[in-house]
Amino acid sequence: MKWKHAIADYKHYLQIERGLSKNSIENYCYDIKKLLAYLEENTIKETPLTIDKNVVKDFIYHVSKSINPRSQARLISGLRNFFDYLIFENHRTTNPLELIESPRIGRKLPDTLSIEDIDRLISAIDLSYQYNGVNLGERNRAILETLYSCGLRVSELIELKISDLFFEEGFIKVTGKGDKQRFVPIGVSTINLINIWISIRTHIDVQPNSKDILFLNFKGKKLTRAMIFTIIKKLVDAIGLKKSISPHTFRHSFATHLLENGADLRSIQMMLGHESITTTEIYMHVDRSHLSEVLNKFHPRK
C-alpha cells in the first residue's frame, strides 16, 4: 500500500537526512502508530495520505484525555513534521495539523541534586559488592562519577567505549544525539575510578559485540538504560532521599553546579552537546538566588 511505503520512506529520511538517533525515530513513529490505531479502532477508512483536519482534531481530542499537555504538544509537533514530509514528497498538498495549536505549557525546570546529595549517593555504594566474582560496586561508583563529572546522557554512558577514553589529554569522546560527537573534559578523580573498573573488567569474559564497551554487566554484555535507573533507585532508597531522580538528574546537576561556580553558558553548551544554546539557557532559571548574588557582587548599580 502506498501510504505504508511513505511511512517507511519517512523513517529512512529521519535516519539519513535528519541524522536522528534510534530512540528519536521510534518516538516519531510511535506517534504515527497511535494515529493509525485510532483510525482502525474507529473504522475510519482514511489513510495518512487522505486524512483531513477534522479527523486529526478528533484524534488529538481523544488522546488528550490520557496524556499531559507536554506529551500532547510533542505528539502534535511530531505529526506535523510527518505531514510536512508527505507534502514535500508530493503525497499530499495540505497539512491537516496546520491550524491546530499546541497546548500552552510552562517551561519545565530540571530537577537537580545538591553536591551533598551526590556525595551521599556515591558514598552509599557498597564497594565490596560482587556478583559471580565481578566487583560491581566499583563499577557502579565509576558509573555515577562519570554521569555527574562529565554530564552524560544515560544513552551516551552505556555506549561509551574504551577507545573513546583519552585520559592523557584529559578528555573523553562522547557520541550524542544524531551520532554527533564531542570531546568532554574529565577530572583526575573520575579517571582513577574508571581505571579501577577497567582493571576489574579485564577478568570478565566479554561478549564479542561488547569488546570495546566500557561499562559491562557480569555477563560481559553492554548495560541497559533500565539497569542504570535501577542502580540509582536502590541508592536513593538506601539513603532515604525524598526526591524522584533519574540518570538525567546527574546531567542537570552537572550543568547547574558549573553555572553556579561561574562557568559560561557557551562552555556548558559544548560539554552537554546541545545544538542550540537556548536549550542550555534553561539552567539560568534553576537557581535564581545564585543569580541575585552574582548581580549584587558584580553589577556597578548594585
Active site residues: 153, 177, 248, 251, 274, 283
Helices (H), the chain: 2-16, 22-41, 53-63, 69-88, 115-123, 136-150, 154-158, 188-201, 225-239, 247-260, 265-272, 277-280, 288-298
* Residues paired with 213 in a beta bridge: 161
How many Å apart are CA 26 and CA 228, to the nearest integer? 21
A 10 A CB-CB count for 1 gives 8
CA distances from 26 to 63, 158, 262 (A): 18, 19, 38
Residue from 70, 281, 27 nearest 177 by CA: 27
CA distances from 122 to 115, 133, 139, 143, 148 (A): 11, 22, 12, 10, 11
Q: Hey, what amino acid is at 166?
A: F
Q: Enumerate long-range contacts of 173-182, CB under 8 Å, 24 or more apart.
A: 174/150, 174/273, 176/273, 177/20, 177/21, 177/24, 177/153, 177/273, 178/18, 178/19, 178/20, 178/21, 178/24, 179/19, 179/21, 180/19, 180/273, 180/275, 182/270, 182/271, 182/273
* Residues paired with 215 in a beta bridge: none
Q: Enter the C-alpha cell of residue 176.
A: 550524542
